[in-house]
Structure 1
Amino acid sequence: MLGLGAGAAAAVSLAGCGHTGSDGSTPAGGSRPGAGEGPASPKPKPKPTATVRPIGDGSTSFTGKQPHQPGRPVPLKPGQTPPQFVVFSWDGAGEVGNGLFPRFLDLAKQYGASMTFFLSGIYLLPESKKRLYDPPNNPRGASDIGYLTDAHIKDTLRNLRRAWLEGHEIGTHFNGHFCAGSGSVGTWTPKQWRDEIEQAKSFVKEWRTNSGWTDVESLPFDYDKELVGGRTPCLLGQDQLLPTARELGWRYDASSPGGRQVWPSKKQGIWDLPLQQIPFPGRSFEVLSMDYNMLANQSLNSTNAPAHNYPGWREQSAQAYISGFQRAYETNRAPFFVGNHFEQWNGGIYMDAVEEALKHIARAKEKGGDVRIVSFRQFCDWLDVQKPEMLDRLRTLDVGQEPSGGWQAFTRDLAGNASTEAADPA
């Protein structure tokens, strides 16, 4: 296990917390209650056609196979180097008028990337209907992130629709983002997690009923089938969530904190795909691969952070992501997971850092490297077709460890004394 300094430990415990930034944004992309609304262009309610079939009240619809998906995955062949998988994911996935959701959709389209958007269910619930939300161990209607304005809900719906049609995954960040006290998600039972999930799904599947809007297009997917994974608020409560996730047929969970850059395994029958400890330039410890943890280690919060530090912090954050990618790409090829929020902390430097990292990774792909920027679900598709013995072999490589004898020898022979050879340090 790589050693961590006190700063990194603090960052892990704070990952994804629902604090507000200096601009008043919330880390999951929410707006504060009472924020002003902007105009939204009316769009027609979908009608049944040969290719579009409304589901329920028409909040969602069946539109056929999702566009822009990669070809069917195949098992690694003996002697083959594994691809370098990279997953960018977004907690909350709410658009609050800052343009960050469409900004990263545009970048993904430009560079042929797929991403995962972990939607907070209450971001589709009008604040006037907030008492429809009955969170476990908390008062009815309570939430530690703000409800969105009606205009921002419409913006979020529009961007979610675009995201799915452009090949991205819509997961869940659940609802009220409770991280502290007796109502914290860290105290919830499997039964309470199931209740929270069912509510999150209902807010997606019934936004039209809850809002009364008929001038917004439906979401183009069946959420019961689309939802196969999520990330818990503040990375808390995974152990109690997993039994419910397994019963619901989920394929993965991205809630584990403090993961390492090694090949993943399953936990309670679910792929465990954690945020990872990555190099933090200029520091003796590593940092979790999430914007909030960069913030926590640079300025603790964005309220009184001096602006003259922004350029240095921006570059430090970008290089942390790039270093994490390069370490995996040049050694064990472990998948690289990045988690973020649509936020503008410290002048938006973390969004710029993510963009710089995405462009760096895309350049590696353009130079002929087998780099695949995918969603969590697409990565699971690849994992699920691999031979168990091949995945076992890949898991023998530690962080930053190159395969002994090179990739061709490492993956060629899985019989005999291969396990002994694989355990040799690079």
Structure 2
Amino acid sequence: MTRLAPGEKPPQFVLFSFDGVGVSPNWDMFLDAADATDSRFTALMTGLYFLTDDNAFHYQGPGHAPGKAAVAFGGTADEVREQIRYLNKTWLAGHEMGTHYVGHFCAGSGYSGAQWTTDDWNHELDQFFSLMTNWKPNNGLDDAPEELLFGPEVVKGGRTQCLEGRLDQLVPAWQAHGMTWDSSMPSPTTGVSWPYKVDGVWEFPIPNVYSPPLRKTQTALDYNFWYSFNEAKDDPSSAPRVRRIVSETYRFMYDEAKNGNRAPLVIANHFNDWNGNAFNPAAADFMRDVCGEPETICATYSDVIAWMELQDPDRLAAWQQLPPVAAGASR
């Protein structure tokens, strides 16, 4: 953490973040890759995974019945305890813990995040933190040896389900819960650009970039890559081709940013084994490839905020005004 002197370039920050973080061999893959490259990432926790299936009734999403959610709950008591062990392992390794909220209600699942009011988002965040804090009594596991080694105070940001939600409704809820950052909003422009503040909360948008292998602009989120490739149809035989598409797009984004505006690069991913686990190996390979390169730092959202707030405000404002990169074919 240093304040740059006039004329010095910012480091190329890369921010890996993972929605949901349910127990998976892919979690181990990224913990290993981060350890090997001295990297930090952000784990975005889904509140459902703090509840066993039998205790789902402890959650009630805005406009939905108790125990209802758009994705699965945490499974058995042993599976919830394993989730806690992985969260602790991630926290102790120095990574950031954020929220992916709870019910994952997206468009098509009834009353969804795109429609939610500030009261709804406050309710959802209240439930997230309650499920996180009370995971033992909620599941009848008061005698379990595991303890969650961190509390709600470490959660300073997150990503909404399916990138849904209106800023005018979200920002007051973030402020009420002490949030300092968000990475939910699609980029307001094509390309990779610097984060910006919305009423005191740092917004790290999901970039919409040019993808050389796809020959078109693309939201740089694993599911969106999948949808662009074959409308999210499961076809494991195409996994090698999809990995190449994702890898080449990530590398293009990185090269354009590092050689251009040096805007922090957001890499948004899930641990899901979609399309024959086409996406996680590409992201892990990218982590191993670039995180050890000169002038490159793979960090968390809170790390980058601390660094930005250390800089001269006028210089930071000038970086924020630089044109987006990776918006079209490389010249």
What's the TM-score, normalizing by structure 1?
0.73
State the AA in 1 paired with 2:63. Answer: N
The answer as to whether partners of 1:322 and 1:360 remain within 8 angstroms in 2 is: no
Given candidates 351, 356, 378, the residue that maps to 2:285 is: 356
Q: What is the CA distance between 1:360 and its match in structure 2?
A: 1.6
Q: What is the CA distance between 1:152 and its match in structure 2?
A: 2.4
State the AA in 2 paired with 1:289. Answer: A
Kindly indicate whether residue 236 of structure 2 is the aligned counterpart of residue 310 of structure 1.
Answer: no
State the AA in 2 paired with 1:190. Answer: T
Q: What is the CA distance between 1:100 and its match in structure 2?
A: 1.4
Task: Provide the residue aligned with 1:393 in structure 2.
Answer: 318
Task: Provide the residue aligned with 2:216 in structure 1.
Answer: 285
1:227-242 correspondence runs (5 A): 227-239=155-167, 240-242=169-171
What is the alpha-carbon distance in structure 2 between the residues aligned to residue 301 and residue 326 of structure 1?
28
The answer as to whether partners of 1:93 and 1:341 remain within 8 angstroms in 2 is: yes
State the AA in 2 paired with 1:269. Answer: G
Which of the pair is proportionally richer in strand?
Answer: 2
Q: What is the CA distance between 1:154 and its match in structure 2?
A: 1.8
The answer as to whether partners of 2:15 and 2:298 remain within 8 angstroms in 1 is: yes
What is the alpha-carbon distance in structure 1 between the residues aligned to residue 279 and residue 42 of structure 2?
18
- The percent of aligned pairs where both chains have the same amino acid is 31
1:258 alignment partner, SS class: strand
The answer as to whether partners of 1:278 and 1:321 remain within 8 angstroms in 2 is: no
2:186 alignment partner, SS class: coil
2:15 alignment partner, SS class: strand
Please provide the CA RMSD for this pair. Answer: 1.7
2:281 alignment partner, SS class: helix
What is the alpha-carbon distance in structure 2 between the residues aligned to residue 264 and residue 258 of structure 1?
10
Given candidates 36, 44, 48, the residue that maps to 1:122 is: 48
Task: Provide the residue aligned with 1:102 in structure 2.
Answer: 28
1:117-156 correspondence runs (5 A): 117-150=43-76, 151-156=78-83
- Higher radius of gyration, 1 or 2: 1
Q: What is the CA distance between 1:127 and its match in structure 2?
A: 1.4
What is the alpha-carbon distance in structure 1 between the residues aligned to residue 236 and residue 97 of structure 2?
36
After superposition, the C-alpha distances for 1:184-214 in whole angstroms (9 at most, x for unaligned) are: 0111111111110010011110111112222
After superposition, the C-alpha distances for 1:220-242 in whole angstroms (9 at most, x for unaligned) are: 1122x101101000101141111
Q: What is the CA distance between 1:121 and its match in structure 2?
A: 0.7
Kindly indicate whether residue 97 of structure 2 is the aligned counterpart of residue 174 of structure 1.
Answer: no
Task: Provide the residue aligned with 1:67 in structure 2.
Answer: none
Kindly indicate whether residue 192 of structure 2 is the aligned counterpart of residue 261 of structure 1.
Answer: yes
State the AA in 1 paired with 2:18. Answer: W
Gaps of 5+ in 2: 327-331
2:261 alignment partner, SS class: coil
2:276 alignment partner, SS class: helix
Kindly indicate whether residue 249 of structure 2 is the aligned counterpart of residue 299 of structure 1.
Answer: no
What is the alpha-carbon distance in structure 1 between the residues aligned to residue 308 and residue 132 of structure 2?
28
Kindly indicate whether residue 124 of structure 2 is the aligned counterpart of residue 196 of structure 1.
Answer: yes
Q: What is the CA distance between 1:278 and its match in structure 2?
A: 2.6
State the AA in 2 paired with 1:315. Answer: R
What's the TM-score, normalizing by structure 2?
0.93
After superposition, the C-alpha distances for 1:369-391 in whole angstroms (9 at most, x for unaligned) are: 21110111111111222222111
Gaps of 5+ in 1: 1-72, 402-426
Task: Provide the residue aligned with 1:248 in structure 2.
Answer: 177
Q: What is the CA distance between 1:94 and its match in structure 2?
A: 1.1
1:327-342 correspondence runs (5 A): 327-342=256-271
* Structure 1 consecutive aligned stretches of length 4 or more whose deviation exceeds 3 Å: none
After superposition, the C-alpha distances for 1:385-425 in whole angstroms (9 at most, x for unaligned) are: 22221111112211239xxxxxxxxxxxxxxxxxxxxxxxx
What is the alpha-carbon distance in structure 2 between the residues aligned to residue 83 and residue 212 of structure 1?
48
Q: What is the CA distance between 1:306 and its match in structure 2?
A: 6.1
